Structure 1
Amino acid sequence: MTQLILLSGWGCDARIWRPLAPYWPDDLDIKAPDWPGYAGRLPLADPTSLNELADAMADDLPADTVWVGWSLGGLLAGALLEHLPTPRALVLLGIGARFVHPQGVSDTALADFRRALERSPTAAREHFLRWQLGGEPDPRNAHRTLRQLLDTSLPASTATLEAGLEHLACLDNHSRLNAAPCPVYRLAGTRDPLLAPEVLAQADQRLDDAGHCPMLSQPQHLATRLANIAAQHSSDAERAEPTS
């Protein structure tokens, strides 16, 4: 059975993936581990350290799986290709090789947001959640769904959230992805407000009528796309025809 590992983005824990649950095929094993520091999981001593992150996530990201990283989760998963055994495939959802882009979220905009987080972490996180929902076909309904999944309290310590913004500001996976040891797929909503047009054009697959959070607006379509990718990377034993 193919295992799909779902990795959430900044400010959201693994509950963000629950809308996909009714649409997974029976032959997929779905895991959604939280990052260190989220949902009661112990934070890293140095939340910015990729070495510490790799050690903490080693059991959650085995090689014989397909990794799916959404937003910051995709950025971190791409960086961890250098630190962990190679997965069957990596899926980047709503993220390119970098987060910041002059025609998307600029360095200046992210710096302003980092200052807002310092002033009021709860208000800044709420602003970010609404910001990333701006491209969904019904942002208000998407926000209601999000609120049903996640509570209003911070999902991680301020230090963990600040480290995540540091990664969004500084991580650049261009060289890692150009020399990736496994197939890499890029998925994006056609209305993603956080992606520059250039990055959106580079996506291998695009989800119509979806923004940055297709798990909220298009859960069935997203689950189908991810399941199809996973099926392409099932083991030889799983693909073999049964013999009599």
Structure 2
Amino acid sequence: MSLWHETHGTGPDLVLLHGWGLSSAIWGDFADRLAERYRVTLIDLPGLGRSAPAGDMSLDTVVEALLDAAPEQAHWIGWSLGGQLALACAEQAPERLKSLSLIAANPCFVAREDWPCAMAPDVFNAFVQSLADNEAKTLQRFAALQTRGSASARDELKRLKNVISTAEPRALAAALMLLESDLRSALVGLNCPAQLILGDQDQLVPAGLAEQARALNPSLQAHMLAHSAHMPFVSHADEVLIMLNALVRQVDGADAAG
């Protein structure tokens, strides 16, 4: 499986992984700002954006493709589904990640008996069925859900509508199943500095995740942004950039991130 990817800027290597139903274009000017001081690699997930659908959408196959597209060593930033996939990459190839920033990402997106801080299974299953019944309406509803409660909801919704995928329903459904992955063991076993950035108004990833995630990995840095929903890199871009820069400096030294 070969994934579309492109690189901008110079400096320490960063990898950006987007969320479900979208493409790397969702990063927009946030990626441009990162490229002012980093070498940024944008990757489109399989079947989304400019990456062709794959016959095998197993987690292991997707991880292998992501690692093939990424620099040999980099600081990884994953948003939503992209965060889960970055965690999976860290578990499979820990030597490839210098640091990990999880933005509005849950290591176990669908709730389990021992992991209630996630989306209820019946809600997730209803979403899967809704996607099969009416893709366009489901994507519109999903976009609205991501922005609800945010201080910049209007701007976020506009960006989502401009980027939202026109992939075949089968490709979207296959990518959606990746959200069922349970990457809690990967979070426990992380051997690189990591942070979790959450919005207190997020309707998809509960704010209570911060405490649960740090219980799994006490070294995880957790940040909560007020009046932010599922897209803090849009609503609170300045604050998120500061957090990302700080983690890179922690790993690479004071001169690396300016």
- TM above 0.5, one fold? yes
Change in CA separation of 1:97 and 1:51 when aligned onto 2, cut-off 3 Å: closer
Per-residue deviation, 1:21: 4.1
**Counterpart Cα distance in 1 of 2:124 and 2:237:** 28
**Counterpart Cα distance in 1 of 2:205 and 2:64:** 30
The number of equivalent residue pairs is: 233
Instruction: Tell me the alpha carbon deviations over residues 170-208 of structure 1, each in whole angstroms, 9 at most, x when there is no partner.
Output: x11111111123222111112212222420445611223
Q: Which amino acid aligns with 1:144?
A: K
Match of 2:179 in 1: 168
Change in CA separation of 1:87 and 1:137 when aligned onto 2, cut-off 3 Å: same
Match of 1:228 in 2: 246
Give the SS at the match of 1:206. strand
Q: Which amino acid aligns with 1:190?
A: D
Change in CA separation of 1:197 and 1:18 when aligned onto 2, cut-off 3 Å: closer
Relative CO higher for 1 or 2, CA cutoff 8 Å, sep ≥ 6? 1
Q: Which amino acid aligns with 1:29?
A: R
**Counterpart Cα distance in 1 of 2:54 and 2:30:** 29
Per-residue deviation, 1:62: 3.0
Q: Which residue of 11, 27, 30 corresponds with 2:40?
A: 30
Per-residue deviation, 1:25: 7.0
Q: Which amino acid aligns with 2:173?
A: E
Match of 2:12 in 1: 2
Say whether the 8 Å CA contact 1:146–1:216 is kept in structure 2. Answer: no
Say whether the 8 Å CA contact 1:177–1:184 is kept in structure 2. Answer: no
Taking the TM superposition and a 5 Å limit, the aligned residue runs for 1:1-244 are 1-21=11-31, 23-24=33-34, 26-47=36-57, 49-84=58-93, 85-101=95-111, 102=116, 104-147=118-161, 149-150=162-163, 154-169=165-180, 171-201=181-211, 202=214, 204-234=222-252
**Counterpart Cα distance in 2 of 1:4 and 1:63:** 11
What is the RMSD of the two structures over their aligned residues, measured on CA atoms? 2.3
Unaligned residue ranges in structure 1 (runs of 5+): 240-244
Per-residue deviation, 1:28: 1.5
